[in-house]
């Protein structure tokens, strides 16, 4: 099981790590897209994420949002003017400081719904969702923006920050301890993969194979390369879960020190379809004992299988955000995340 409080705290720690080294000028810069419109500044995005965490605290713990909190959502009423980074980081720290309700949250609370005024909500949170589902939405949305900010910081001339960080001891699969997340591993994996796929809508092969220039003159990885990188992780999960090798591919490794040449998008898509099918099939019968075990191969053999699975899920969400930033620099519209969770990734009570 993954404990909600650990997942929430790890998510916010990683979000804050992504802000390291950014100056006030960096954080308030709006990058111009190819259609001459502008992306939201990093400082604005920090406020946007803070609003989501204040909302979930209101749902679960009853903590009121700060009075006069400016709206940072995708609605027309939200002012896109970049606020000072210190101001929005303070809002986020305030939200993070009121997460203690998650320590004792039980299934009854997480399965309940809250009748709140729409003014108390950020635009992507649905009143149809229970508290546990809305919490998962906020966490995945935060991971999406970690990836987006990581892409933006590179466009501004900063080095890429490697994600995920140290997950061991901070977010482990723990057998039989505490309140579990009411989601199955198969649901978490399938939803992450399907949302990553949604972020590729409308891209041509030429666009997907384009390496966007960074401010320091180097180039970002192409979307087709990033897609293949995500495939690498899911093929490895398949091997961990089954002890079987994935289908032979001419080029399977897309990771540290790998050839940065963008693979053809049709090749990346075919591999992605294979990884998607294999992942879905191998996770259906996993149980607590199996996910608590370890395998004696791979670079992360100290992590149990459940921990490595969550690493792959969050890593996929990180790259979903990164791809969304790159597609905007190529002239495509931003895709809104997180998508529909009802019937796909819901907190359900009574799970083992």
From residue 202, alpha-carbon distances to 58, 62, 328 in Å are: 37, 41, 12
Axis-axis angle for helices 42-61, 85-96 (nearest 10): 20
User: How far apart, in whole angstroms, are the C-alpha atoms of residue 94 and residue 170?
Assistant: 21
Q: What's the pLDDT at 115? A: 67
Q: Which long-range contacts (CB under 8 A, 24 or more apart) does 14-18 make?
A: 14/143, 14/146, 14/163, 14/164, 14/165, 15/49, 15/92, 15/142, 15/145, 15/146, 16/89, 16/92, 17/161, 17/165, 18/146, 18/149, 18/150, 18/153, 18/161, 18/163
Q: How much is the pLDDT for 124?
A: 44
Task: Name the CATH superfamily, with its identifier, for domain 4-329.
Answer: dinb family like domain (1.20.120.450)
Write down the pLDDT at residue 123.
45
Taking only the tens of pLDDT, the chain with its 352 residues reads 678 888 999 999 999 999 999 999 999 999 988 888 889 999 999 999 999 999 899 888 777 777 666 777 765 567 888 999 999 999 999 999 999 999 888 888 888 887 654 445 454 445 678 899 999 999 999 999 999 999 999 999 998 888 888 887 777 777 654 445 678 888 899 999 999 999 999 999 999 999 999 888 899 999 999 999 999 999 989 998 998 888 766 777 787 778 889 999 999 999 999 999 998 888 888 888 888 888 877 677 778 888 889 999 999 999 999 999 999 999 898 898 999 888 898 887 755 4
pLDDT of 116: 56
Taking the whole predicted model, whether its pTM rises above 0.75 is answered as: yes
Closest by CA to 166, choosing from 319, 13, 3, is 13
Q: CA-to-CA distance for 137 and 124, rounded, in angstroms? A: 9
Q: Give me the pLDDT at residue 150, please.
A: 95
Question: What is the predicted pLDDT for the residue at 175?
Answer: 67
Nearest Cα neighbor of 114 from 73, 74, 63 is 63
Which residues fall within 8 angstroms of residue 81, CB to CB, at 6 or more apart?
A: 44
């Amino acid at each position: 099981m993954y404990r909600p409080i650990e997942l929430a705290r790890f998510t916010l720690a990683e979000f804050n790590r992504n802000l390291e080294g950014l100056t006030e000028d960096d954080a308030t810069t709006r990058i111009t897209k190819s259609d001459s419109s502008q992306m939201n500044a990093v400082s604005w995005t920090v406020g946007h994420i803070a609003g989501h965490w204040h909302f979930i605290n209101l749902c679960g713990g009853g903590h009121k949002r700060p009075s006069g909190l400016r709206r940072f959502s995708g609605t027309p009423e939200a002012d896109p003017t970049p606020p000072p980074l210190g101001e929005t980081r303070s809002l986020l720290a305030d939200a993070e400081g009121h997460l203690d309700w998650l320590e004792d949250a039980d299934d009854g609370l997480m399965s309940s719904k809250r009748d709140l005024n729409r003014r108390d909500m950020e635009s992507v949170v649905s009143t149809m969702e229970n508290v546990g589902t809305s919490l998962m939405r906020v966490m995945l949305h935060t991971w999406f923006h970690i990836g987006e900010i990581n892409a933006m910081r590179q466009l501004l001339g900063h080095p890429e920050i490697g994600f995920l960080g140290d997950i061991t001891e901070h977010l482990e699969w723990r057998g039989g301890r505490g309140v579990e997340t009411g989601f199955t591993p198969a649901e978490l994996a399938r939803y992450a993969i399907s949302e990553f796929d949604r972020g590729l809508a409308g891209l041509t092969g030429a666009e997907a194979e384009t390496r966007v220039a960074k401010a320091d003159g180097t180039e970002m990885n192409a979307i087709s390369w990033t897609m293949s990188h995500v495939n690498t992780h899911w093929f490895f999960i398949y091997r961990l879960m089954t002890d079987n090798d994935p289908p032979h591919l001419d080029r399977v490794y897309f990771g540290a020190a790998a050839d940065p040449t963008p693979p053809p998008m049709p090749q990346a898509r075919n591999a992605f379809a294979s990884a998607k099918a294999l992942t879905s099939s191998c996770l259906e019968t996993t149980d607590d004992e199996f996910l608590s075990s370890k395998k004696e191969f791979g670079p992360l053999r100290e992590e149990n299988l459940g921990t490595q699975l969550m690493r792959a899920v969050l890593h996929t969400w990180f790259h979903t955000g990164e791809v969304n930033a790159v597609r905007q620099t190529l002239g495509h519209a931003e895709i809104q995340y997180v998508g529909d969770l009802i019937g796909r990734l819901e907190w359900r009570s009574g799970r083992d």
